[in-house]
Structure 1
């Protein structure tokens, strides 16, 4: 392996006394990992933070060997997540990326979207925007992994109007009329995923929707830590958007 690319740091694990194994999301090669010598040093600790963008060089003699990685910081963004909800969202989305994606499978749309979200976090995005970011990223990730939702027409009637539910079984939208008798068994379809406005109710509904399918299709069997990270991010977003303006 011989790779030079921009990358977003998404996970770090200490290795030995001084090094670190770091996972990176790249625009053209997907998720890659490398060993950073001195990754726990005073010089590199501020660089190797989830959310930072780096110029990454990976070198390995054989494909089965963990590559040696060198990094140069290009955008320091992790330290700009200054609110509890921003930090929780950054932790969750980078952890989800590192956990859910297979190694070296390109996901350029995920890279672009995560990069834009982290830019928003660094610029001080508010809780409503952060909640929308979680919903849209999770919705995209489901589609990228082959678990996409069909939100274009009603599963029962084929109509494209008044779609307000999603069937957990068919993964398709359901209209208000067709879904009314089964509303307790259906999931809410937020307007923001249909090109509608972004509001607190829609963000809460979106988090419920994508959370259901992530739990069933992506996070099952992954351990509790990853679910705890999502629960923390969602709880802080929901509390923040419910709080009265200062």
Structure 2
């Protein structure tokens, strides 16, 4: 068995004395793992950085085997964001959530393309946090936990949408929230169309998506908590928005 593809490096872990096992998210083969011989050496270590774009060739005797990768760098991203803690936190949260949530070897071409676009955006502009918020909404949708933010769950109106039900994931209009509004999650305008948003608004949106990632997605995977990288990103977003 052999195939060639391009992908985002999600994770690297030591394997034996001089090898590593890497996880790569590719367009045509999904999240896929394999051994890189010599991956722990001085030549390969700078190449095998999470968030980087690499070309891989995977080989195995049988399809169900772990197999071995050879990897060639296409572009590094960690080096470009290393000097700024916020995009670095965004990069580690993105690859962390992909590694955490994607079923192995299941393809998600649309999510792959948006993930690559998001990671590239982090390297060139400060405007990426809103794209990241929409990426988390897409991740929930792709994995079967989509939110319905198109109309009010109570009346069906598309006006004055201000909250999200933590139980159903459906939008609720402000005038229908009543005494329950303290138990509802915020539906900030940038989640449903506004193309410009403050860091404070985006942080509130991440509080909402985080609820569903933690209460819906994580338990379905047998986990109790989200990756620490995601929590660090949200904490940093709230600190920045408070300045």
Q: Which range, TM-score by smaller chain?
A: over 0.9
Tell me which residue corresponds to 2:155: 157
Tell me which residue corresponds to 2:171: 173
Tell me which residue corresponds to 2:50: 50
The 1:238/1:133 distance shift into structure 2, 3 A limit, reads farther
The 1:7/1:227 distance shift into structure 2, 3 A limit, reads closer
Q: 2:67 & 2:228 partners in 1: Cα distance?
A: 30
Number of residue equivalences: 239
> TM-score when scaled to structure 2?
0.93
3-state SS of paired residue (2:149): strand
Q: CA deviation at 1:63?
A: 2.1
Q: CA deviation at 1:223?
A: 5.5
Residues 5-55 of structure 1, C-alpha deviations (whole Å, 9 max, x = no match): 111101111100110100001112211111100111111111100111011
Q: 1:180 & 1:80 partners in 2: Cα distance?
A: 47
> TM-score when scaled to structure 1?
0.92
1:89 matched to 2:90: yes
For residues 71-82 of structure 1, what are the structure 2 equivalents within 5 Å? 71-81=71-81, 82=83
Q: 2:211 & 2:132 partners in 1: Cα distance?
A: 13
1:100 matched to 2:101: yes
For residues 1-246 of structure 1, what are the structure 2 equivalents within 5 Å? 1-81=1-81, 82-123=83-124, 125-126=125-126, 129-196=127-194, 197-220=196-219, 221-222=222-223, 226-243=226-243
Gaps of 5+ in 1: none
3-state SS of paired residue (2:91): helix
Give the CA RMSD over aligned residues: 1.5
Q: CA deviation at 1:104?
A: 1.2
3-state SS of paired residue (2:23): strand
The 1:168/1:238 distance shift into structure 2, 3 A limit, reads same
Runs of 4+ off more than 4 Å? none
Q: 1:104 & 1:192 partners in 2: Cα distance?
A: 33
3-state SS of paired residue (1:11): strand
Residues 158-184 of structure 1, C-alpha deviations (whole Å, 9 max, x = no match): 111111111111211011111132101
Residues 199-245 of structure 1, C-alpha deviations (whole Å, 9 max, x = no match): 23320221111000000122244365x442222111112222333xx
